[in-house]
A and B are shown apart, each in its own frame.
Chain A
Amino acid sequence: MTIDEERLLLLEIKRDLRNFGILFDTYYKPIFNYICRRVAEYDVSRDIASETFLKAYLNINSFIWKKISISSWLYRIATNEINLYFRKAKNYPVSLDKLLENNMFDRPETDNYLTEKELIEKELHFHHEYMEVQKNLTKLDSKYQEVLSLRYFEKKTIIEIADILNKKEGTIKSLLSRGINKLRDSLNNAT
């Protein structure tokens, strides 16, 4: 979706909130993919994606078009939600998968849920090199995780990353450079 199309869509949404469905259809897949590539867990990704779009839906009327596009705004909300999840996970380090493995609570039993979860997790684990990078990426500070994942998982440009994270381009470049060093060290230590 181009910037002009986004601008028109924003006007349509402000006129009638039901048009938010168009925005949802356009951006749910890239945002869900971004979250999934960051956290690499189906259940968590689904929760964060729904929280992201709920926040966007509730705040779209107060969205004022300045420099940032709607897609960057959605990535920004998702990034904040992911950071919130990692902060909480630090305090409660038991993962959802471990709880499910130990039968500590019921796994939803609908066929669709299981099929989708299995398919997505298969897709994630099929990319061994990505999984290795992702695992080591989560060991870094969130400020490095954000820039590295947006740059190398989402293939965003420096300008786009600066928009999403509301930081200057110079800051992004320096975070990327330091983040790459830290990630390389982490990967070397792991092997």
Chain B
Amino acid sequence: MKEDKFEKRLDDLQVPHINDIRHQQILKFALLNSRKSSQIGVAFIVIPCLFLFFQFIKEWFGLDFHFFSTFEGFMSHLDKIPLLKWIFPIVLVGLPIVTIMINSLSIVHFHWDKINKELLISLKFKLFNIILILISIFIVLVFLFYLVHENIYEQVLRSLD
């Protein structure tokens, strides 16, 4: 009987109801956009990755695909037109740099602690974003190395001659 009374009390228990949840939309926006940085990143590094892949095959295995030679010809053709010569540097180096930036922003959180005057940096472990950042860094480094090799190193050699 005593138990029934207690159960009845629990059954009739008035519980709080929260209807006005203001943070809901902010959270929804963050949640639905959480994958966008990685999706954009993938789109941005597809062409540089393919370019490096076929270049690698050509250099190391001596396999020269017709479409790749045509593409390279098209690149050198654009290189001669003043306004359009920036297209490929932007696609091959600029977009991977943008990928590094947007994916870094999605995993790094900065907080300025006013009281202790400290900048607190926390890193969220999102594997896919980290992989994209590493691939993009690799692409940028390869092209920078190529740039140094093609321009500065050869100029030094020529001046030595």
Number of residues of chain B lying within 8 A (CB) of chain A: 26
12 further A-B pairs in the complex, CB-CB below 8 A; given A29-B18, A57-B31, A183-B10: A37-B16, A53-B31, A54-B31, A116-B23, A126-B16, A129-B14, A130-B16, A148-B10, A152-B10, A152-B15, A180-B7, A180-B10
Q: Which of B13, B24, B32, B34 contacts A29 (CB 8 A)?
A: B24
Q: Bound complex: CA of A49 vs CA of B17, how far in Å?
A: 16
Q: Is the CB of B16 within 8 A of A123?
A: yes
Is the CB of B156 closer than 8 A to any CB of chain A? no
Is the CB of B113 closer than 8 A to any CB of chain A? yes
Q: Smallest Cβ distance from A34 to chain B, in angstroms?
A: 10
Q: Is the CB of B3 within 8 A of A25?
A: no
Question: Is chain B's binding surface mostly helix, strand, loop or mixed?
Answer: loop
Is the CB of A181 closer than 8 A to any CB of chain B? yes
- Would you give 5 A-B contacts (Cβ < 8 Å), ordered by A? A21-B28, A28-B21, A129-B13, A129-B14, A153-B15
Q: Which of A24, A180, A181 contacts B28 (CB 8 A)?
A: A24
Q: Smallest Cβ distance from A113 to chain B, in angstroms?
A: 8
CB-CB under 8 A from B114, the residues of chain A are 106
Number of residues of chain A lying within 8 A (CB) of chain B: 40
Number of A-B pairs whose CB atoms are under 8 Å?
85
Q: Bound complex: CA of A155 vs CA of B92, how far in Å?
A: 59
Q: Bound complex: CA of A126 vs CA of B14, how far in Å?
A: 10
| Chain A, Cβ-Cβ closest to B24 | A28
Q: Bound complex: CA of A112 vs CA of B27, how far in Å?
A: 14
Q: Which of A46, A53, A127 contacts B16 (CB 8 A)?
A: A127
Q: Is the CB of A124 within 8 A of B16?
A: yes
Q: Bound complex: CA of A53 vs CA of B154, how far in Å?
A: 56
Q: Bound complex: CA of A181 vs CA of B7, how far in Å?
A: 10
A-binding residues in B (CB < 8 A) = 3, 6-7, 10-11, 13-24, 27-28, 31-32, 34-35, 113-115
Instruction: List CB contacts (< 8 Å) of A21-70 with chain B.
Output: 21, 24-25, 28-29, 32-33, 36-37, 46, 49-50, 53-54, 57
In the complex with contacts A24-B31, A54-B34, A152-B10, A32-B18 CB distance below 8 A: yes
Is the CB of A20 closer than 8 A to any CB of chain B? yes
Encode contact with B along A105-145: 1 for CB under 8 Å, 0 otherwise.
01000001101100110011011011001000000000000
Q: Is the CB of A106 within 8 A of B34?
A: no
- Listed residue (B19, B23, B34) with the most chain A CB atoms within 10 angstroms of its CB: B23
Q: Is the CB of B27 within 8 A of A53?
A: yes
Q: Which of A115, A152, A183 contacts B11 (CB 8 A)?
A: A152
Q: Smallest Cβ distance from B101 to chain A, in angstroms?
A: 23
Q: Bound complex: CA of A77 vs CA of B16, how far in Å?
A: 22
Q: Bound complex: CA of A77 vs CA of B103, how far in Å?
A: 28
Q: Bound complex: CA of A153 vs CA of B12, how far in Å?
A: 10
Q: Smallest Cβ distance from B27 to chain A, in angstroms?
A: 5
| Chain B, Cβ-Cβ closest to A29 | B21
Q: Which of B24, B32, B113 contacts A18 (CB 8 A)?
A: B32
CB-CB under 8 A from B19, the residues of chain A are 29
CB-CB under 8 A from B14, the residues of chain A are 127, 129-130
